[in-house]
Structures are given as C-alpha cells and as structure tokens.
Chains A and B, each alone.
Chain A
Amino acid sequence: MTLKKNDHLEFYRQMVLIRRVEERSAELYQQGKIGGFLHLYIGQEAVSTGLISVRRPEDRVITAYRDHGVAINVGIPAKQVLAELLGKETGISKGRGGSMHMADVSKNYWGGHAIVGAHLPIAAGMALGDQYQGNKGVTICMFGDGATNIGFFHEGVNLSKVWNLPVLWVCENNQYGMGTAVERASAVGEIHKKAEGYGIPHSRLDDGMDIMKVREASAAALEQVRSGKGPYFLEIVTYRFQGHSMGDPQRYRQKEEVTQWEKTDPIGIYNRYLVEQEIATKADLEKVEEAVEAEVKEAVEFAETSPDPALDTLFDYMYTDKEQNHG
C-alpha cells in the first residue's frame, strides 16, 4: 500500500496521542486519581502503531496489560481510555477493568489481559473460532518478552501449529520482564528462535523504534498468515523509556534535546523521517501535536467530570443472565 501524506499524519497523530495520554496518566496517577497498577507504553509507540496500521478490520487484536497504546491504535477515543483509568462509568470497560483491562469488541480488540501469558491460549482459541467458522481474519496476539518463559506461551504456540491456526504471534521485546533482563530469564536470548521448536516460521525486527520498519515487518508477517500457511512468530525489539525528560511535554521545542530525541525516540525518529523525506513539514507536525494537546486536555476533563459507576451496579455483568447475579 502506498502511503499518502494523510496516512502518515494519522500514524504520527496516534503516536503522539499515546505519548500524551501516557504522560497525563502518569500525572493523574501521581495525583492519586488513578488506582492500581499503571504500565505506560512510552517508548514503544512505534510497535503497536506500526503493527495495528497494517491490520484489517477482520483481524482480531489481543494484548497483555501494557494496553493503552493498542487501545488508542485500534481507535478507542482517548477520553474513554482516560475515563477507564479513572474508573468511570464512561470508560471503555465501564470502570470495571482499569489500566490492564481495556477492550473494545466492536473494534475487534479483545483486551487487555493481566496474567502474564494467559491470553496466548485464548488467542489460539479465537483463531480456532475463525478457522472453524470460515472467517478470513488473523488473530494478532501481542505479548512481552517475559511471557515467553511461562507454560501458557508454550501450550498456546504449540496448539497454533498443531491446528495450523491463523495467528500472528508478536513478541514485543522491551528487554525486561519487570526488572529482569531477558538474558537472566530466558534460556534463548533471541526470543523469536523459540518458535523454531514448534516449527513456526519466525523473524526478528531489531529496530522496533522505527514505525516504517515495524509496518514492513508486520505486513510481511500478516501476509504469511493470511496466505493460509498457519501461524507466524514476529519478535520486535523495542524498549521502555524511563521517566526522564523524554516524557517532558516541552521537549519538541527544546533544541538541546532534539538531536538525542531524533536518534532514540520513536516519535522523534518518525518526525525526522517525515521532514527529511519531505512528506510533511515541521509546521504540519506541530499542527498535529497541537490538535493532540487539545484532544487530551478535553479527554482529561471528560474523564474527571464523568460519573463513577452507580454502587447498585456492583453485580451487573457478573453473569449474562442478571437474574443469577446474586447467586
């Protein structure tokens, strides 16, 4: 697919939107307005944005608990993401899920799963459902490097090959499972090679900070699955940013940081690419950034002013048959 200027601006918008939402989330967390855990996607924006940009609507998406970025990429409005983080009834999961459990089934996005690796067998089952019903879609299952050391990973990946299921396994290798580096937790340093043990074709993208490369690798991997050859395993190397100046909303305008930012930040890398390739001007991109600023400001206001779930809805959604919700 040849990308038009507007496509690029849309990807850029999504990446900046993820960054802004995450930065605001960190602040709201510091203010005690967000409870529980908060896993930020800052630094990994190119992975999800690039990957989701090549999926088709019939392709299902399921991921782990670092799910805010994916939520935005599949098209959940920032205000529903932030409202969920604040536990509001207007949140995408009606305040029942929180940071780790965001889904929008209408967008074929199935969450947001917080037990490491447990969603891999579920993803295999979703692909089985599509295979069984003759649907065309691919199930895109994202997970971290840490998930590849747990039994669920091996059971799910094995099953996908045994049944030749249309699954794209995407390992987002951000190089740490919590605080434990890959080489301290995984017997195999190059994670994609684990797929070898299950006879599944695999590859690794070393530069997951460049959205154009992520798109290229993801599109090729998806095509392989779509062609009916069964599952494919794609490892994308990326990294989480620490809470340093990269998170500073002012950095776009601070010259001394720009050089560093253009080299290591997925948004900076993309920004430089778009300008150097004369796809967009600095002014175009600043316009996008300003629009995102406004959207996030509005989204935070929406979230903060939204109602909490009514206490008498505590038992709603336990069972599909509400009559049984007190059993």
Chain B
Amino acid sequence: MAEINMRQAISDALWEEMERDEKVFIMGEEVGVWGGTYAVTKGFYDHFGAKRVKDTPIAEAAIVGAGIGAALVGLRPVAELMTINFAFVAMDHIVNEAPKLHTMFGGQMKVPLVIRTAGGGGRQLGATHSQTPDAIFAHFPGLKVVSPGTPADAKGLLKAAIRDDDPVLYIEHAAMYQVKGEVPTGDFTVPIGVSKVQREGSDVTIVSYCRGLQLSMLAAEQLAVEGISAEVVDLRSLRPLDMGPVIESFKKTNRAVVVEEGWPSYGVGAEVSTRLYEEAFDYADAPIKRVGQKEVPLPYNRELEQSALPQVADVIAAVKEVL
C-alpha cells in the first residue's frame, strides 16, 4: 500500500494500462501538449507520443464519436471530456450510440470505450460548469457508469473500465484530485457494478458515492463521537447498480440516508431509496432521507454556492432525522 492522491491514482491507472496494452490510447481536449487541464496526463505526451496521446479540437461529439469508431475497430480509447458539463453536446454519442451498438446489431459490434470526465461543484465556475448530472447517464441501459470516491477505487475502476468490452462513463470529481488514500501497489482492478462497505456501523446506513462518500465518511466520524454508529456503503458504480450490500446493511440498521452531490429530483437517492422500499420495505423503521444539492442552478458567489451544495452538517442532520 502507498498513500497517493486521486490525481496520481487516475494518472497511474492510465499510464500502466497504456504500458500494458498498445491498443489503449487517450484523446481529448488538452490531454497532450498541455498535460491535461487537471494535470492527470502530465508527462504522457512526451513518453507515449502524439499517436497515443491525441489532442482534439473542442468538439465533444467528435471526441466521443471518434472514440466509438476506434473502439469498434479494435482499439481501447480513453476519450476525455474536460468536464461532464460538456458531455451534453456529445449526448447522442454517449447515450444513443455507444450503449446501443452492441445490442442493436445483434451482438456483432463491441464498444470498449472509456469516456473519462470530471463533474461536481464547489469551484465557483457558475451554473454551466458545476453540475453533477450523473443520474442522467445512469438512466440508460447499455452504458456503464462508475464514479469512484477513493484513490484505490479510482485506480482499480479505471483499469477495469479500460479492460471492459462495453462503453464506460468514468466520472471523477473536479474538487477531489488532492484527496489522499491508501492504494494497493501492483496491478489490480476493482470490478464494475460492485458496491462496497467503506465503514462498518450498526445504527444507520449511509449510501453514497464519489464526493458524497467523502461527506458521508466525515459525517460518520463526527457521529461516532456522539455515539452514533453509521455504516457507509459506497455504490462506486451507478450502472450496473449493486444493491446487495445496501440492502444487507439496511436490514441490519433499518434506517438509511442517501447522499449525492447532484439534485435529488429523479436522482441517485431517488433510485436507491425506491429500491430499498421495493425490496426491503418491512425492514424500514423510519422514512429514508435524501441529501443532495438544493434544486437551483449553482451560482458563482462562493457563499451562495456552498449554501446550495450538500455539506457534512446536512448528512449529520439527515441521520439524526431517521434515528
């Protein structure tokens, strides 16, 4: 084990996969000469060269579309969208092409494509650049959607995504690149579609992922001081969604809070709580609570923005409501 930050974990995964397999290459805006807008691919261009680290025009449909095409003919592209907010202009290729081709042609085609992108708010980028629209993408069968909350999962999930024969949307959080954690040394993958208990507890189940996981872990620490034992389940993948550990935990604690950074309406919390009601209703001792972003486009002003984003205190308050 070694303690590294999220940026390093993602960068290492890409580097190691490119070293391992000639078919893996990166394409996106400023991934090459610049070194990546979040410095994830710093040094890649010099090491791997222009063929495997391709700077693209600012044309997201071309980035994802060409990624699909290259994947169809045998490569394993990692197509990078600078932020998930730009994914909307490539929406057709992300949700209506990549996830459809394998099934629509009766299994003839495979699309081993990774779309790497970063989302999330809190960096004063205003309404168009601060969103967490993960649930929209997780809505579509055929696409896989993962969003890690720890450096170890970031590395293992990215490696798994690159080796996967289906299209995977890999969502990072733009404000989490400095987050540190223990990462196993050597080659390893984290399976897509497998949730994980990140902290054991007995009084309440907190379900979350990505930035929400960070909030949930901090909340669990503070709750422990007050004598409240929270179990934190990390979804890690939004599709396929592994409800197993969530339900198991809920059957034990009988209370749950779902934490996400995105808007709660039609969101991850809505999905998880509904499935809990459908599959474990008899175990519920209190209504399940959702914690998410206030239902408003995010403003620029720092205080306003922070007031709209979910905070550790919100998670703690929600837990106390369900106890």
Residues of A within 8 A of B (CB): 60, 91-97, 101, 103-105, 110-113, 115, 118, 120-130, 132-133, 151-152, 155-156, 158-159, 162-163, 316-321, 324, 326-327
A317 touches which of B59, B70, B107, B239 (Cβ 8 Å) = B107
Inter-chain CA distance A151–B59, complex, in Å, is 9
The 7 residue pairs across chains A and B that have the minimum distance between CB atoms:
A125-B69, A327-B240, A121-B65, A94-B106, A125-B66, A129-B73, A155-B62
- Stretch in B28-36, B97-105, B206-214 touching the partner: B97-105
B57 touches A159 (CB 8 A): yes
Interface of A, secondary structure class, is: mixed
Give me 12 A-to-B residue pairs in the complex whose CB atoms sit less than 8 angstroms apart, sorted by A's number. A97-B105, A103-B108, A121-B64, A122-B68, A122-B93, A127-B69, A129-B73, A129-B74, A129-B75, A133-B73, A320-B110, A324-B144
- Pairwise interchain contact A124-B69, C-beta atoms closer than 8 A: yes
Q: How far is the CB of B196 from chain A (nearest CB, A)?
A: 16
- Tell me whether A123 and B108 are in contact (CB under 8 A): no
| Cα separation A327 to B72 with both chains bound (whole Å) | 23
The CA of A101 and the CA of B100, in the complex, are separated in Å by: 11
Mark B residues whose CB is within 8 Å of A: 25, 51, 54, 56-57, 59, 61-62, 64-75, 77, 92-93, 96-97, 101-110, 141-142, 144, 164-166, 192-193, 239-242
Chain A positions within 8 Å of B107 at CB level: 94, 316-317
**What residues of chain B lie closer than 8 Å to A151, measured between beta carbons?**
61
Do the beta carbons of B97 and A162 come within 8 Å of each other? no
Would A318 and B103 be within 8 Å (CB), given that A122-B68, A125-B72, A129-B72 are in contact? Answer: yes
The complex places the Cα of A122 from the Cα of B109 at a distance, in Å, of: 13
A327 to chain B, nearest CB (A): 2
Q: With a CB–CB cut-off of 8 A, which chain A residues contact B105?
A: 93, 96-97, 101, 103, 105, 111-112
In the complex the two chains form, is A122's CB within 8 Å of B72's CB?
yes
Residue of B nearest to A326 (CB): B240
Of all chain A residues, which has the CB nearest B166?
Answer: A319
A118's partner among B97, B106, B192, B242 (CB-CB below 8 A) is B97
A121 adjacent to B142 (CB under 8 Å)? no
Query: B3 to chain A: closest CB distance in Å?
Result: 32
In the complex, what residues of B have CB within 8 A of residue A318's CB? 102-103, 141-142
Query: Are A128's CB and B69's CB within 8 A?
Result: yes
For the complex, what is the distance from the CA of A326 to the CA of B193, rounded to whole Å?
11
B108/A122 in contact, CB under 8 A: no
- Distance from A58 Cβ to chain B, minimum over Cβ atoms (Å): 11
CB-based contact B57/A118 at 8 Å: no
B59 and A159: CB pair below 8 A?
yes
In the bound assembly, the distance between CA atoms of A319 and B109 in angstroms comes to 11
CB pair B165–A121 under 8 Å, yes or no, is no
* Cross-chain contact B65 with A122 (CB below 8 angstroms): yes
Are B69 and A133 in contact, with the CB atoms below 8 A? no
CB-based contact A126/B73 at 8 Å: yes
Closest residue of chain A to B69 (Cβ to Cβ) is A125
Q: How far is the CB of A60 from chain B (nearest CB, A)?
A: 7
Residues in A neighbouring B54, C-beta threshold 8 A = 163
A104 touches B66 (CB 8 A): no
User: In the complex, A25 Cα to B172 Cα: how many Å?
Assistant: 48
On chain B, the residues within 8 Å of A60 by CB distance are 73
Chain A residues with CB below 8 A from B144, complex form:
319, 324
Q: In the complex, are the beta carbons of B66 and A124 less than 8 A apart? A: yes
Q: With contacts A103-B108, A132-B51, A327-B242 known, what are 8 further pairs, Cβ within 8 A?
A: A60-B73, A111-B101, A115-B92, A125-B66, A132-B70, A156-B61, A319-B102, A321-B164
In the complex, which residue of chain B has the Cβ closest to the Cβ of A111? B105
| Residue of chain A at shortest CB distance from B56 | A159
Least CB distance from B191 to A in Å reads: 10
When distances are taken between beta carbons in the complex, the residues of chain A under 8 Å from B102 are: 317-320
Q: A163 CA to B66 CA in the complex, in Å?
A: 11
User: Is there an interface contact between B62 and A156, defined as CB atoms closer than 8 Å?
Assistant: yes
Residue contact B74 to A133, C-beta cutoff 8 Å: yes
A191 to chain B, nearest CB (A): 20
Residues of chain A with a CB closer than 8 A to B239's CB: 327
B92 and A118 within 8 A (CB): yes
Give chain B residues whose Cβ lies under 8 Å from the Cβ of A113.
97
Closest to B102 in A: A317
With A115-B97, A118-B96, A129-B75 known as contacts, the answer to whether A317 contacts B65 (CB < 8 A) is no
Residues of A within 8 Å of B192, CB to CB, are: 324
Chain A residue at minimal CB-CB distance from B67: A125
Cα A162 to Cα B64 in complex, Å, equals 16
Nearest-neighbour CB distance to chain B for A253, whole angstroms, equals 39
Give the docked Cα–Cα distance between A319 and B110 (Å). Answer: 9
- Within the complex, what minimum Cβ distance (angstroms) separates A68 from chain B? 15
Q: Give, as a whole number of angstroms, the nearest-CB distance from B192 to chain A.
A: 8
Q: Which residue of B lies closest to A96 (CB)?
A: B106
Nearest residue (CB) in B for A126 is B69
Do A133 and B75 touch across chains, with their CB atoms under 8 A apart? yes
Q: Which residues of B contact A132 (CB under 8 A)?
A: 25, 51, 70, 75
Q: Which residues of A contact B77 (CB under 8 A)?
A: 125
Q: Which of B67, B68, B69, B109 contacts A103 (CB 8 A)?
A: B109
Q: Indicate whether A121 sits within 8 Å of B69 (C-beta atoms), given known contacts A159-B57, A319-B166.
A: yes
Q: Are B103 and A96 in contact (CB under 8 A)?
A: yes
Smallest CB separation, B100 vs chain A (Å): 9
Flag if B165 contacts A320 (CB, 8 Å).
Answer: yes
